Amino acid sequence: MFKTLRKQQHRAAAAAIFFIILFASSMAAAQGPALPDGLGEKKQQDQETGPALPSGIDSGGEKQESSGPGLPSGLGEDQGVPEPGDDDSLAGVREPMKWRMPKSVKGYAEIRGGMRIHDDPVHDDASLAEARLQLSWDKRIAEYLPRGRFKATGDLIFDATVSDHDDADIEEGTGLFDLREFSVSFTPLDFVDIRAGRQILTWGTGNLVFLNDMFPKDYQSFFLGRDLEYLKAPSDAIRASFYTDIVNLEIIYTPRFDSDRFVDGSRLSFYDPASQTMRGEDNPMDVRLPDDWFGDDEIAMRVYRNMEGYELAAYGYQGFWKSPAGSDSVTGERIFPELSVLGASIRGTLGEGIANAEFAWYDSRDDREGDDPFVENSQWRFLAGYEQELVTNFTMGVQYYVEYMIDHDAYKDNLPAGFPARDRARQWLTLDLTQTLMAQDQLVLSLFTFYSLDENDFYLRPGVDYEFTDEWKFRAGANIFTGNRTDFFGRFEESSNVYAAVRYSF
């Protein structure tokens, strides 16, 4: 009875979110065309230089400040109302005082709703029904530290699809509050930058494909349809950057392991081949995280430089697999085996577009012989990509990505009877299409596609973004999975969903 009632509440909440977004969109459309040039103007894309280099995943550009309503009469300074007939009556009249958000504080308010498009046997129809308020405080503290800066960003969240709103976990990003950033940065020497605390980190050249980027991802947010910035989960780390005329060096130390916010069944269902069951809210994966401070730590390094228009980089990492990559044969818990990674990348212009290549060697230190079927095998990973603006405002990007198991024969020889064997190589193609429309690129149509060459399954992520003003933005999209239930993407098919959002930035 209670489960049926909760399911009805979730449906009602999701329906309400969709109705509010639809109403807001229609009201925005009724207010007339976009502002003319000079009002709320955006930067135009430079067509002469070709497409911009991929910049990773971030939260977008700086938001314009907005002013609030004026103070009521009688509050603030005397307005000096002139007497009728006085020729000098307009002299000295002051503008009404207006309340403004402090320049060091920015943020947005957003409502977002989503619905599953299949009948999910272990989850309700509503995939997302949330209201979110993000506040970010960026403050110079040069009087305390050389070129010092403090930054804090946090999200207040109410999600009607979650039964327990009081249980806030800033490591998993669940509950009423998600701390995105809380860091201090300073420059002790002219060639050294330090940043310590919670921060968002990203490396590598891939577009939604990560080889040497060993920083945590939030795949639950990504597949639920939250904004792309939430694919990157925060790290609690110390970053030291050194700049020289020869090469630049970054060293990032994480004193306690930060895992991915992976799909475990609690928000998105999937078929688990290991247990041969559907994972859902009542049957999530049981995991054992490395969580000892300074014992289960991570260290990552990057050496990079630009050479004749090309970005060259070498990477190193020592820590753990970021998502579960093994299981305890006794307890059945999913585990995070020890992992080391070495890799390199190059990116630069090729013809009229931008090309990139990246490779990585994954040394699974708990299974170096490859004969433990319960621990992920060591791998070679390779990525090649190309992006070009084919016609004005229409860009296409393609990527080829492969994971090659090094000790495949040993893996097959020790696989328990009845367990399906993986292929030695798993290959994917990605296609990214982006079309910008309207005078100031206010309307953006996009489609990102993963296709598995081995398993013939798909992941499709279409999206529509409309920036009505500098403050108001609307978005709609979908996450669609197709394939057999034992395939990489096919196992998520019941979690396919559509979503919509409206955001006001300040």
Run means of pLDDT, 10 residues per run, the chain, 506 residues: 46 49 44 40 40 42 40 41 44 60 90 96 94 97 96 95 75 89 97 98 97 97 97 97 97 98 94 88 93 97 96 98 94 95 98 97 96 94 98 97 96 85 94 95 97 94 97 98 92 97 97
- Reading the block at residue 151, the tokens are 């930054």
Neighbouring-strand partners of residue 167: none
- The number of residues in the chain equals 506
Report CA dihedral (15, 17, 19, 21) to the nearest 10 degrees.
-150
Contact 145, 184 (CB under 8 A): yes
> Which pLDDT score is estimated for 101?
73
Residue (of 432, 345, 307) closest to 51 by Cα position:
432
Task: Report the pLDDT value the prediction gives residue 104, as an integer from 0 to 100.
Answer: 85
Residue 45 lies inside a defined structural domain of this protein: no
What is the number of other CB atoms lying within 10 angstroms of the CB of residue 77?
9
Taking the C-alpha atoms of residue 124 and residue 495, their distance in angstroms, rounded to an integer, is 10
pLDDT at position 140 is: 95
| Domain membership flag for residue 87 | no
Chain centroid, CA 371 distance in Å: 35
Read off the tokens for 56. 């990773």
Give every CB contact of residue 396 below 8 A, 6+ residues apart in sequence.
387, 388, 390, 431, 432, 433, 434
Q: What is residue 211's three-state secondary structure?
A: coil
Query: Is residue 91 situated within a structural domain?
Result: no
**Is residue 95 a part of any domain in this protein?**
no
Quote the CA–CA distance of 501 and 503 in Å, as a whole number: 7
Q: What is the CATH number of the domain that holds 429?
A: 2.40.160
Domain contains 471: yes
Task: Please indicate, yes or no, if residue 222 is contained in any of the structural domains.
Answer: yes
pLDDT at 95: 59
Residue 369: give the domain boundaries.
137-157+177-505
The structural domain count of the chain equals 1
3-state helix, strand, coil in the chain (%, to 5): 10, 45, 45
Q: Record the pTM.
A: 0.80
What are the Cα distances from residue 112, in Å, to 63, 142, 173, 200, 466?
A: 20, 38, 17, 23, 15
Confirm whether 280 is domain-assigned.
Answer: yes
Task: Please give the backbone phi and psi of residue 47, each rounded to the nearest 5 degrees, phi first.
Answer: -75, -20
| 5 inside domain | no
